[in-house]
Chains A and B, each alone.
Chain A
């Protein structure tokens, strides 16, 4: 059978994976140090820790980078191991829904009613 290659894409997703890898390499240790440094014990302490807007924005951006990075990686795995087109599309969809849902959920937590009340 003739192989159906030549879609003229590929560099884009590779760039996204590389760029987000860079973002994650910088952001994840940074966030971890920030949280560990001021490790609070109670709920009020946690709330104070996540109060600054810049922190919530950078956390959300890191989560977006993580989701994009994971999307390219999962897509690559499915491209290698899942041959039936229908099944592959279903898995793509499941990954997209999971990742987009997680990011939206995080956004709701970070910018939700708990903060407007505080």
Chain B
């Protein structure tokens, strides 16, 4: 199979290049990550992140033929040759397919992704009704692979000021949580021309999410809450 891989080495003064690679591999039943690891076995200088190899850890997100996906759950047989693999767009490249995730994590941290509840701890766990628990479906499953945020043009233009779809989905996950008491502060944190309202409903995030989540709808629900408390 034919591959075109993005190569960049920070030690050399050369600009990033696309490397053509021919690999003898039977695509049936194999994922893109299998092919990348086979290429790495031939040429150990190829650098990439991967860990669980089954779409749970979210560390092997790459741009494949123009679309952000997880290499480990992308079947080789689905891809058109030459298979062009690039690092995630919109983040600084460290080496080859490895990007600096810090701008992404910084926005994630900014929404305080933990439960805030100053009530005395109950003797057993804080209980939720099944209905309250159902509100978290579609929000808690995010694996922070950054496929969505790095596919978002609004994040490309404003990475320092726009939280991005992954961060906003997580913001909603805690706003919707019946056990969280900081809803007002969380909404204040997003009430800004940039942090949430840079979302123009492009919906690239929905298109690329490997877990089939819908950040755009979560952003819409946060916006409804912002509107509701204002009018």
Contact = CB atoms under 8 A, between A and B. Distances in A.
Given A11-B226, A11-B227, A14-B223, A5 B157 contact: no
Nearest to B189: A6
B157 A14 contact: no
A76 B194 CA distance: 9
B161 A5 contact: yes
B157 A80 contact: yes
B161 A10 contact: no
Nearest to A80: B157
Interface in B177-225: 188-189, 191-198, 200, 223
B163 to A, nearest CB: 9
B187 to A, nearest CB: 9
A113 B201 CA distance: 46
Interface residues of B, number: 21
Interface in A1-24: 1, 3, 5-15
Interface in A57-92: 76, 79-81
A14 B191 CA distance: 11
A76 B193 CA distance: 9
A66 to B, nearest CB: 20
Contact of A7 (B193, B196, B226): B193
A11 B227 CA distance: 6
Chain A CB within 10 A, most for which of B161, B189, B197, B226: B197
B167 to A, nearest CB: 13
Chain B CB within 10 A, most for which of A3, A13, A76: A3
The list of the 7 closest CB pairs from A to B, nearest first, reads A3-B160, A10-B197, A10-B193, A11-B226, A80-B157, A5-B192, A3-B161
Interface of A: 1, 3, 5-15, 76, 79-81
